[in-house]
Amino acid sequence: MLETRDLYKHFGGLVATDHVSLSIREGELHAVIGPNGAGKTTLIAQLAGELRPDGGAILFDGKDVTRTPVQRRAASGLARSFQITSVFPSFSALANVALAVQAHAGHSFRFWRRAAHDAALTGPARDALELVGLGSRAEVPAELLSHGEQRQLEIAMALATRPRMLLLDEPMAGMGPAEGASMVDLLRKLKGRYTILLIEHDMDAVFALADWITVLVHGAVIATGTPEEIRYDAEVRRAYLGEETV
Amino acid sequence: MRDHGRETLAVLIGLAFLLALPFLAEAAGKGFYVTLFTRILIFGLAAVSLDLILGYGGMVSFGHAAFVGVGAYAVGILSWHVFDGSPLMTWPVTLEGTENAFVVWPLAMLMGGLFALVIGAISLRTTGISFIMITLAFAQMLFYLAIGLRKYGGEDGIALYNKSQLVPPIDLFDRTTFYYVCLGLLVAFLAVCRRLTRSRFGMAVQGARINERRMKALGFSPYRYKLTAFVISGAGAGLSGALLANAAEFVGPAYMSWQRSGELIVMVVLGGMGTLFGPVAGAAAFLLLEEWLADLTEHWQIILGPILLFVVVFARRGLWGWVAGQGREDR
């Protein structure tokens, strides 16, 4: 469903993405792991369209989207969540998600009807909030939600755009164990319903969820395979897993 | 959340005061307050239109007076042709001057919107300081263009021979009548803006202010919504220009000066950005202070400065925040 061919990106002398070729099949949960600075977020930014690669190609659904701007990629069903929570702080949780619904409900040149009372927006928005477990927090301004709840809100917004594929950038970043566990439950619910590219630090979560894992070190893919293969891959253990001990 | 009951009450009290003002002023034997408050309503209208892009859209336009000036010149030029008896243009169609308010006021809005479309289409490709500077540059261009209009008085502007004509019994030369016409238009514009800001369109514009990156990641193209808001804002400013021309019975390049643009920003900030009603309060505070302080000293802005500073530092949402309660956007 999503494919990169020989993707290359450098910042000055630093190679952030070193000839990365990935192939993510429809319905798969594909995790990308790697130590800090491995270029995971840079990779997602290129896939989402916020960064333009210096070389190589990105194909979504077989179509070359390498030069497609971010909003067009999002509109064609490629949704992302952010590592650093990126919501609309002064809007309620419901309004945040309703805005995400609105993004995919045709144009927004509708000047008269009050958006907050528009069931076509708030209906799907409430569904998405229920799904991520924020149903009871709909009216709370996003800035007053806990960190974990804001992470859930991130996911709800991505889901509300009715994507065909999710790019999740460390959804568990900064979460406590309990919050992390409920996020794993949520991702398990989403698995199979969406094609997912997951970037995550939490190894337990990754090995529990992923169908396929790609290991990125210094911008380059050093291994790719099933969780079992990765767990026992000598090079991966040496380069990465060994340091943190799984 | 913002205290809706308190805000509604504040709006109603404000409206009641404005409705009663001509009677109060005449009863107190201070009729000139009707004229002063007419100016307040007109500048309030311009400030509300600026708030639409500044407060809601996060677009710091430093050239808003240009659109006010464009609207004023639309009225002034057409009126000049009536007085002069010459046609506005003879090719490809012959157009005569007119003082019919039902023609010239919508035309002033149209021209304000058109200029905003062109200026916005270019300026909105930039953000931050560049946007401020480009809007300022465009406004200065129009300012000097107006000075270059020799036929229409150049630097001296146009003294209007006649005010715009509404339906016969309504005579805009009557200051109370004119006051209520301005009040009606301001209220109508506020009502429209209120709907706009809460509509899907309004949410898209506000989203672009708060987090443009996220908006794009959601699939929005913020540019088109920002530009539309800019055009609507320009049209509102054009209408206020048409009223200003009638109030002063004069049109001149000074309407477009960058100081005027700055004053409009001060009115919005003083009253409260992103509050719609606040800028009207801001316009009132600014023009009343100007009126009262100018009696004390010609350097009245020395006193205005600290007051503005005080409000900005201590009231996040300006004067309106004090009146209607501090709070974030509704919803």
Q: B112-155, pLDDT tens digit by residue?
A: 999 999 999 999 999 999 999 999 999 999 999 999 999 999 99
pLDDT tens digits for B63-87? 999 999 999 999 999 999 999 888 8
Q: Do B202 and A115 touch (CB under 8 A)?
A: yes
CA-nearest of B258, B244, B310, B277 to B42 is B244
CA B45, CA B67: separation in Å to the nearest integer?
Answer: 12
Q: What is the structure's pLDDT at B1?
A: 43
- Please check whether residue B330 lies inside any domain of the structure: no
- Please check whether residue B24 lies inside any domain of the structure: yes
Residue among B199, B207, B228 whose CB faces A88 most closely:
B207
Chain A residues with CB-CB distance to B202 below 8 A? 111, 115
Which residues are paired to A223 by β-bridges? A215
What are the residue boundaries of the structural domains of chain A, listed by start? 24-52+66-77+163-246, 88-162
pLDDT tens digits for B228-250? 999 999 999 999 999 999 999 99
CA-nearest of A11, A35, A158 to A97 is A158
Chain A residues with CB-CB distance to B331 below 8 A? 91-92, 94-95, 115-116
- Please check whether residue B331 lies inside any domain of the structure: no
Mutate to test the interface with B, among A80, A87, A91, A164 (most CBs of B within 10 A): A91
Q: Is the pLDDT assigned to residue A242 strictly greater than 60?
A: no
Residue among A88, A100, A102 whose CB faces B200 most closely:
A102
- Please check whether residue B329 lies inside any domain of the structure: no
3-state secondary structure of A66: coil
Residue B273 burial by CB count (10 A; 0-12/13-18/19+): exposed, middle or buried?
buried
Which option is the CATH number for A24-52+66-77+163-246: 3.30.56.10, 3.40.50.300, 1.20.210.10, 3.30.230.10?
Answer: 3.40.50.300
CA B267, CA B288: separation in Å to the nearest integer?
Answer: 12
Query: Which chain A residue lies closest to B210 (C-alpha atoms)?
Result: A88
pLDDT tens digits for B17-57? 999 999 999 999 999 999 999 999 999 999 999 999 999 99
Q: Is the pLDDT assigned to residue B62 strictly greater than 60?
A: yes
Read off φ and ψ for residue A7, nearest 5 degrees: -65, 135
Mean pLDDT of all residues in chain B? 93
Residue with tokens 């000066």: B257
- Please check whether residue B248 lies inside any domain of the structure: yes
Q: What is the structure's pLDDT at A236?
A: 82
CATH number for the domain that contains residue B315: 1.10.3470
pLDDT tens digits for B263-274? 999 999 999 999
User: How far is the alpha carbon of A79 from chain B, nearest alpha carbon, in Å?
Assistant: 7
Q: Is the pLDDT assigned to residue B328 strictly greater than 70?
A: no
* Helix or strand (DSSP H, E) at A57: strand A55-60
Chain A residues with CB-CB distance to B217 below 8 A? 48, 50, 70-71, 74, 79-80, 82, 86
pLDDT tens digits for B195-218? 999 999 999 999 999 999 999 999
Q: What is the structure's pLDDT at B94?
A: 84
User: How far is the alpha carbon of A114 from chain B, nearest alpha carbon, in Å?
Assistant: 4
Mutate to test the interface with B, among A51, A72, A114 (most CBs of B within 10 A): A114
Q: Is the pLDDT assigned to residue B331 strictly greater than 70?
A: no
The fraction of chain B above a pLDDT of 70, given in percent, is 97
Q: Which stretches within A76-176 are classed as H helix? A: 93-103, 119-132, 147-160
What angle is formed at CA B8 by the lines to CA B3 and CA B13, rounded to 5 degrees? 130
Q: What is the structure's pLDDT at B327?
A: 55
- Averaged pLDDT, A158-165: 94
Mean pLDDT of all residues in chain A? 91
CA-nearest of A57, A111, A53 to B229 is A111
- Averaged pLDDT, A103-117: 92
Give DSSP secondary structure letters for B120-187: HHHHTTS-HHHHHHHHHHHHHHHHHHHHT-GGGTGGG-EE-SS--B-STT--TTSHHHHHHHHHHHHH
Residues of A with CB under 8 A from a CB of B: 48, 50, 69-71, 74-75, 79-80, 82, 86-92, 94-95, 98-100, 102-104, 108-116, 118, 121, 141, 157, 161
Confidence of residue B329 (pLDDT cuts 50, 70, 90): very low
User: How far is the alpha carbon of A98 from chain B, nearest alpha carbon, in Å?
Assistant: 10
Q: What is the structure's pLDDT at A245?
A: 47
Q: Which two tokens stand for residue B278?
A: 């606040």
CA A148, CA A174: separation in Å to the nearest integer?
Answer: 8
Confidence of residue B255 (pLDDT cuts 50, 70, 90): very high
Mutate to test the interface with B, among A99, A107, A110, A112 (most CBs of B within 10 A): A99
pLDDT tens digits for B299-318? 888 888 898 888 888 887 89
Look at chain B and report how many structural domains it folds into: 1
Which residues are paired to A15 by β-bridges? A10
Q: Is the pLDDT assigned to residue A101 strictly greater than 80?
A: yes
Read off φ and ψ for residue A198, nearest 5 degrees: -115, 125
Question: In terms of residue numbers, what domain contains B56?
Answer: 4-324
Q: Is the pLDDT assigned to residue A106 strictly greater than 90?
A: no
User: How far is the alpha carbon of A78 from chain B, nearest alpha carbon, in Å?
Assistant: 9
Confidence of residue A234 (pLDDT cuts 50, 70, 90): confident
CA B41, CA B280: separation in Å to the nearest integer?
Answer: 7
Mutate to test the interface with B, among A90, A118, A140 (most CBs of B within 10 A): A90
User: How far is the alpha carbon of B220 from chain A, nearest alpha carbon, in Å?
Assistant: 6
Q: Do A111 and B1 touch (CB under 8 A)?
A: no
Residue among B199, B213, B329 whose CB faces A90 most closely:
B329
- Averaged pLDDT, A121-135: 95
Query: In angstroms, what is the C-alpha Rg of chain A?
Result: 18
Q: What is the structure's pLDDT at A72?
A: 94
